[in-house]
Structure 1
Amino acid sequence: MGLMSKLLGGNSHSAEDYVELDVDDFDASEAGAASVQVRFTDISEKNDVIDIKDAVYDGDIVIADIIRHTTSDRTMEHILDELKQVANEVGGDIVQKEDDQLIITPAGVGISRSKIGR
Structure 2
Amino acid sequence: MGLMSKLLGGGGRSTGDYVELDISDFDTSATSVDTQLHIATIGDKSDVIPIKDALYDGDIVIADITRHTTTDRTMEHISDELKQVADEVGGDIIQKDDDQLVITPGGVKIAREKLGG
User: What is the TM-score with the length of structure 1 in the denominator?
Assistant: 0.86
Aligned to 1:25: 26
CA distance in 2 between counterparts of 1:109 and 1:89 reads 13
Structure 1, unpaired ranges of 5+? none
Aligned to 2:73: 74
CA distance in 2 between counterparts of 1:107 and 1:57 reads 9
Shift >6 Å, 4+ stretches: none
The percentage of counterpart residues that share the same residue type is 65
Aligned to 1:59: 58
1:26 deviates by 2.6
More helix by share: 1
CA distance in 2 between counterparts of 1:7 and 1:96 reads 17
Aligned to 2:40: 41
User: What is the TM-score with the length of structure 2 in the denominator?
Assistant: 0.86
Alpha-carbon RMSD: 2.2
1:114 deviates by 1.2
Describe the shift of the 1:3–1:87 C-alpha distance in structure 2 as closer, same or farther (beyond 3 A).
same
1:17 deviates by 1.4
User: Is the Cα–Cα contact under 8 Å of residues 10 and 101 in structure 1 kept in the other structure?
Assistant: no
